[in-house]
């Protein structure tokens, strides 16, 4: 089962060339380019897979934070990477989910990773492989590369924990338990040495029951790191106050067929064709040319968008970006 909203039957999808030309011809506040990562709209769907609020199968988190605590100063502009510079190499790391609908695992694991670094000073990378493989249907109402729920992943971090694990290019380093095993790839031709051609079908969900790095000195069970709390964030003030205090949060939104062409500026949807739900990491916010925005880290590698990031309009729940935000607390020490 794949969690996305299909294009209407009989309606031919516009090409990215057509979409980019249309966006750039209008006064939309953002610039579009033909993405090098995808050759057509259908290929984007393999990189989505978040179950959105209101869809069949969605399960809400038990705890919700709807009010900003007193005494938290929310600045007009904020960026987790500069606000917590000692953890910038963690929060600024743009990952690549490859051809797998594991965005729900990336957006959640990355945000927990940032918060753990901010709370503890540890710069170790967390394993999205573990979340994708083991935060399954029974624990998280999720299905690996076939989609999932970032909020339930936060609950899993609290109840079960996640092991350490770097990116695909960290395989063999031996300094974490389970790096991401799915090779980065590109659908668009010509491919490069770093980003070879993606498989014709998306990668199957990986399995993981022990550390894959033989040189790593801990067992899988001993390597687990737990969150101390898990909750959803309701309302802009609550979202901002939580990020100011603890670091990056996780959000989900609806992807329209113009989104993959984003290059710069503040994104607003110019299309009505939905491709599916996507989860990402919220890094902060600001204002550009009079338009308030959220600053977001995507998981489509650094070659996409603005070096792997994008800005999306803030304050109007653009594409649902403010309606499904999840987070949690990181402990002051590794818990095993």
Active-site residues, by number, are 103, 278, 298
Asked if 38 and 259 touch (Cβ cutoff 8 Å), the reply is no
> DSSP secondary structure string, 254-279?
EEETTGGGEEEEEE------EEEEEE
Instruction: Please work out, in degrees rounded to the nearest 5, the angle formed at the alpha carbon of residue 135 by the alpha carbons of 92 and 330.
Output: 50
Q: Quick check: 120 and 333 in contact, CB under 8 A?
A: yes
Q: How many CB atoms lie within 10 A of CB 26?
A: 10
Q: What DSSP designation does 323 have?
A: S
* CA-closest candidate to residue 42, choices 17, 3, 7: 7
- Identify any residues that bridge with 285 across adjacent strands, giving them in sequence order: 78, 294
Beta bridge partners of 231: 327
277 CB-near residues (< 8 Å, 6+ apart):
3, 4, 48, 49, 50, 51, 52, 55, 147, 252, 253, 254, 255
Q: What is the CA radius of gyration of the chain?
A: 19
Pairing of β 227-233 and β 274-288: unpaired
- Torsion angle (degrees, nearest 10) of CA 297, 312, 2, 187: -60
CA 23, 25, 26, 28 torsion-angle sign:
positive
């Amino acid at each position: 089962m794949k969690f996305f909203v299909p294009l209407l039957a009989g309606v031919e999808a516009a090409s990215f060339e057509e979409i980019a030309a249309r966006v750039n011809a209008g006064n939309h506040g953002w610039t579009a380019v033909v993405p090098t990562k995808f050759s057509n709209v259908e290929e984007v769907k393999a990189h989505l897979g978040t179950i959105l609020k209101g869809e069949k199968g969605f399960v809400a988190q038990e705890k919700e934070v709807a009010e900003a605590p007193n005494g938290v100063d929310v600045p007009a502009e904020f960026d987790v990477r500069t606000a917590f510079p000692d953890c910038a190499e963690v929060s600024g790391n743009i990952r690549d989910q490859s051809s797998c609908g594991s965005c729900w695992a990336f957006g959640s694991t990355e945000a927990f990773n940032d918060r753990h670094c901010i709370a503890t000073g540890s710069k170790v990378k967390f394993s999205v492989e573990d979340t994708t493989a083991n935060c399954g249907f029974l624990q998280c109402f999720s299905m690996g590369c076939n989609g999932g729920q970032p909020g339930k992943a936060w609950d899993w971090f609290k109840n079960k924990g996640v092991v350490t694990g770097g990116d695909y290019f960290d395989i063999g380093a031996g300094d974490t338990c389970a790096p991401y095993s799915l090779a980065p790839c590109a659908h668009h031709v010509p491919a490069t040495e770093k980003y070879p051609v993606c498989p014709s079908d998306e990668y199957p969900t990986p399995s993981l029951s022990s550390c894959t790095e033989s040189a790593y000195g801990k067992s899988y069970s001993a390597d687990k790191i737990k969150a101390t709390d898990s909750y959803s964030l309701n309302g802009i003030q609550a979202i901002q106050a939580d990020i100011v205090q603890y670091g990056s949060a996780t959000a989900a939104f609806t992807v329209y067929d113009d989104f993959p062409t984003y290059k710069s500026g503040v994104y607003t949807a110019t299309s009505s064709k939905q491709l599916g739900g996507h989860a990402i990491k919220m890094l902060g916010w600001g204002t550009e040319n009079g338009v308030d925005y959220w600053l977001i880290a995507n998981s489509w590698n650094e070659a996409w968008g603005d070096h792997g990031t994008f800005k999306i309009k803030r304050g109007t729940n653009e594409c649902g970006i403010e309606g499904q935000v999840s987070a949690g607390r990181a402990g002051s020490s590794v818990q095993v």
